[in-house]
Amino acid sequence: MPQTQEPLPKQADTEQDDRRLLISELCDYLEAYLDRDTIAHVYRAYLFGAEAHEGQVRRSGEPYIYHPLEVARILAGMRMDGQSIMAAILHDVIEDTETAKEQLATEFGQDVAELVDGVSKINQIEFSSKEEEQAENFRKMLLAMARDIRVILIKLADRLHNMRTVMALPREKQRRIARETLDIYGPIANRLGVRQWAYELEELGFKTLYPMRHRVLQEVMRKRHGNRKAVVEKIKQAIINQLQQEGISATVTGREKHLYSTYKKMKEKTLPFDQVYDVYAFRITVDKVDTCYRTLGIIHNLYKPIPGRFKDYIAIPKANGYQSLHTVVFGPFGLSSEVQIRTQDMHNVAEVGVAAHWLYKSGEKDTQQAQQRALQWLKNLLDIQQKAGNPREFLEHLKIDLFPDEIYVFTPNGEIKKLPRGATVIDFAYDVHTDIGNKTIGAKVNHQMVPLRTHLRNGDHVEILTSEWGRPSPAWLNYAMTSRARAHIRAYLKTQQRGESVALGERLLDKAMSELDGALDDISIEDCDTLLQSLKIKSWDDLLEEIGLGKRLAPMVARQLVPEKTTAVAAAEPTKTDGLVIHGTEGVVVSYARCCRPIPGDPILGYLSSGRGIVVHTEDCPNISEFRKHPEKWVDIQWEPDIKAVFPVNLRLEVRNQRGVLASVASAISDMDSNIDAVKFEDKDGQTTTMDFTVEVRDRAHLASIMRSLRNVESVIRLIRKKG
């Protein structure tokens, strides 16, 4: 679709006139299907939005209000209701201005305010990782869509206009927005059946992300179109004449397939352009379903069908409600073409999907079914999101769900089940019911026993064998393909793992308690509650699970439950007792972080690490910033005052590149009663050398004397203690 952009006005008066011209054009368009009172509300929303965005401009230099007006114009093309048009005009006022949701509710009603708020919330939160940000944005989008499907239609229209004007942005941002459009917004538009927008979003995304590929493919298509234009017209006319002879009234249109769909086919099947045969498509629109099948017979009698390329989406509609008969035939001159046959009602739903609810009579069966399918899809995705363990898992489920290539199989009762291509018996079992999937022990496909990893094909009859003792296996995740099956398998395994972890944690804690002359049975409910509050853990089972998984150490928890033992140890120490003395951590593994190499005298912190016990860091270690996000894992520790041990420390020296410098440095370290564990050299510029030493020290005072001795070496230019 060509980009239409108003010229940038030179004066304020001209700018205001152009704005009025835009809103007047929108109001003229709305008069075709909305009443005068609703149009008056739309105009009032425009005045409100224009005032709120006053002084704001887009990257292209045009006033910002042009953007929401264009979004409203796109929705008006779908004949969306007045509330949607008002929300489109106001969709950025909460996010980009000081306008509050309550103010919108007062001015334009609660429904409009909720729509604007739903669109705004999709992009408002900042996250610690890009993956987490994407997952959370999609979750919020799904929630907003589940409340009111119009939210996503406004968001899609917003993205469509942004793509039409994306060339005003820096190249890197163009690529990011185009990639997101192809990965998410185009497929969502297609999944909701809004094919007009899906096609344009994909074409604009393809052109922006791969401009050279788009240009080359467009040129090849143009040349091919020029050479075969007469042939395509001949096929079209032959179809019309044949249908007239059979007494069928129909509308026949011919078109080239979209560039992006052609590019995807070439890429997926590794085909050169010359081998992509069904580049042209013909659509035949008739009056009723019975005529669709009669027309199919006429087309197959006129041109030979290609085996295996016929699809009946009328008997078995796509998930987004799309219905049509598809066939690919050999035309004259060896030109194969796709032919789509549908009724006018099917065509309406095929073009605008869920938006058909507003574009046509809201009581029509097909449009209501399209809405129900969309809402069911959203419900399933939200259910999967709740079971997903992390953002990456949810994104994996989402992308699987957005790119289905469907097959159709039958239950023993003859019910049709729709699954993505590549689905296995396990996917089928979970599609029937979660309990069926969890209790599966075997399966029959076409009355033959098959392994659970068997891939299903179109038309297969599938029977699942279950048992009360049946349980999901972790191996199932290797061949479950659908997001629904994977989410339920993972949820079951997590529940099973929790039970085992709780039991293990209880055994470990009971053993640690017995070593302190205590027992779990002797602990009061009040002491348990006090401990849970101090550790900020919700329940006793949660604490036992953390112990069982190694996230929390049983001896440390036992000491908090049996304070008498800890107090006796602490009373024997002459130093401060509000921290845990490292020497008093009997039964707990203690290790020293290699990043900062803590030594006695350093201010230190202890971090609970699964499998490593307490890891000791210096308080100024650069690496502990990441650990500070989990304060519940920090342990207050301190050095014993009289330690008979040596500790490694990393030193970096920058020295002049002179003969005998290594001997001088080694001698200085040896004179201070220290050993060298390791040394590494790096020649910087021929005149200076960097030396990294690992030396053994007793404490900070010993280290200080070593560093003073090294600074007295004539060749040493710079000396630091390495951390991080």
- Among residues 573, 721, 556, the alpha carbon closest in space to that of 647 is found at 721
Catalytic hit among 54, 96, 233, 522: 96
Fill in the DSSP letter of residue 57.
B
Token pair recorded at residue 565: 């033992």
Chain centroid to CA 572: 56
In sequence order, the 6+-apart residues with CB closer than 8 A to the CB of 296 are 325, 327, 341
Quick one: the chain helix, strand, coil %, rounded to 5?
Answer: 55, 15, 30
Token pair recorded at residue 399: 């992308």
Active-site residue 405, yes or no? no
Quick check: 56 and 66 in contact, CB under 8 A?
A: no
Q: Where are the alpha helices (DSSP H) in 270-390?
A: 289-302, 344-352, 356-359, 365-387
CA angle 708, 710, 712 (to 5 degrees): 75
Q: What is the CA radius of gyration of the chain?
A: 35
The 3-state DSSP class for residue 617 equals strand
**Dist. CA 183–CA 399, nearest whole Å:** 8
The 3-state DSSP class for residue 361 equals coil
**Dist. CA 45–CA 32, nearest whole Å:** 19
Which amino acid would we find at residue 170? P
In sequence order, the 6+-apart residues with CB closer than 8 A to the CB of 69 are 19, 22, 23, 26, 46, 89
Residue listed under structure tokens 């835009």: 22
As a residue count, the chain comes to 724
The 3-state DSSP class for residue 79 equals coil
Dihedral sign from CA coordinates of 72, 77, 80, 81: positive
Residue listed under structure tokens 């052609």: 262
Catalytic hit among 6, 18, 81, 95: 95
Token pair recorded at residue 312: 């009946």
Active-site residue 81, yes or no? no
Chain centroid to CA 560: 41
Burial 334-372 (b: 16+ CB within 10 A, else e): ebbbbbbbbbebbbbbbbbbbbbbbbbeeeeebbeebbe
Residue listed under structure tokens 């564990």: 677
| Strand order, beta sheet including 440-445 | 448-450, 440-445, 462-466
Q: Rounded to the nearest 5°, which phi and psi values hold at 151? A: -60, -45
Residues labelled catalytic: 95-96
